[in-house]
Chain A
Amino acid sequence: MQRGEALRHMVDERSSCEALCRQHYGRVLQLCRALLVDRDEAEEVAQEVFLKMVREYQRQNPIHSWEAWLTRVTVNACRDRRRSGWWKWWRELHSEFYETDWPSSVATAEEHALRGETREQIWRCICALSARQREVFALRRIEGWSNEETAELLGLSAGSVKRHLFHALRHLAKALGER
């Protein structure tokens, strides 16, 4: 009887952990993409984050909000990744993007090229932001956290969050408005 309950508990736990992964994987992956501006690195870091999540889940530590926990762990993992490959990061800042593999639903080649150029410029603008500005922008405008929540997640004051967000948006508006 006890063995059956333990097995059922284990299955429930595993299924809930998988559900948690499915629920948050897309969001975490997109956050990694915005913070790293590299799809391959983003996938690697997202997998690392979910590996940590599974370990934390198995430890059965009380987590108040998995969403906030995952966001915090993702931001830290992206910071670690940037620090570990600083020379690679510097090298990639001066490289160009490939736009050939973007899916396109438009008809003409001219529209396809124009849309690809716009996307490339958007990602290049994100790449040109400082790390802190990028984190604030991603959490506030992509993830949808409030100023106070973003400040708590990043260990900043709410005023700093506002200032970083304003500078990031001004940079984006200037760079994208000059097209």
Chain B
Amino acid sequence: MKSCVSDDTLLLCYLDEAPASVRSHVATCASCASRYQQLNQTLAHAEQELQTGCPPHRPSQRTSFSHWWFPAAAAIAAVVVIFWSVAVRPPPEPLVHTGVHDPEVRRFLAREVSPALSVTNGLSVTPIPAPVSSAGYVYAALAGGWPCEQTNSLVPLQCEVAPFFFFFAD
């Protein structure tokens, strides 16, 4: 083997899985030997660190998270909601009248429900009171009867002078 081996092949040498020809080349070639030594040193150093070392502390994410990330996200969310509600939100759709499409239900409503709602049998009909003209109030006030609201308050009327005369009548 004359040409130098690749990095992956050197890695196989490191794992003791390279063929004998490769190992002999790495042992004899100065360039490959140097590369292999550097690879070996790097990986051995890393493995040594992982066998005996301790992962460094991390900064406290909770403080940084709570100090700026959460309020910023809340503010952005509020702006987005306001913008959406003012500018982007489509107008509300008109109410859709949903009719009854089932013919059986429609028939039931027409035959049973509508007559029951508008039935008037057995009700005592009372006459609608006729509107009272303003003159009626005037006559009533002059006769000393009820009502007295439309009279002049400066002029005492009989109904106000002795409103409970019937209590004292013999």
Chain A residues within 8 Å of B, Cβ to Cβ:
30, 33-34, 36-39, 42, 88, 91-92, 95-99, 101-102, 118-120, 122-123, 125-126, 138, 141-142, 162, 165-166, 169-170, 172-174, 176-177
Contact = CB atoms under 8 A, between A and B. Distances in A.
Interface in B11-39: 11-12, 14-15, 17, 38-39
Given A38-B58, A98-B56, A123-B56, A165 B15 contact: yes
A12 to B, nearest CB: 33
Interface stretch (B40-48, B94-102, B113-121, B129-137): B40-48
Interface residues of B, number: 27
Interface in B53-72: 53-59, 61, 65
13 contacts: A39-B54, A95-B61, A96-B59, A98-B56, A98-B59, A119-B53, A119-B56, A122-B50, A123-B49, A165-B15, A169-B11, A173-B11, A177-B39
B14 A138 contact: no
B39 A33 contact: no
A122 B46 contact: yes
B61 A92 contact: yes
Contacts of A39: 54-57
Contacts of A138: 50
A82 to B, nearest CB: 14
B51 interface: yes
B170 interface: no
Contacts of B104: none
Nearest to A144: B51
A142 B65 CA distance: 34
B7 A173 contact: yes
B58 A172 contact: no
Contact of A97 (B45, B51, B56): B56
Contacts of B50: 30, 33-34, 122, 126, 138, 141-142
A95 B11 contact: no
A139 B43 CA distance: 15
A173 B43 contact: yes
Given A33-B50, A172-B46, 12 more contacts: A39-B54, A39-B57, A42-B55, A95-B59, A98-B58, A102-B56, A119-B53, A122-B45, A122-B53, A126-B50, A169-B43, A172-B42
B9 to A, nearest CB: 11
A128 to B, nearest CB: 13
B14 to A, nearest CB: 7
A36 B54 CA distance: 11
A166 B9 CA distance: 11
B149 interface: no
B17 A162 contact: yes
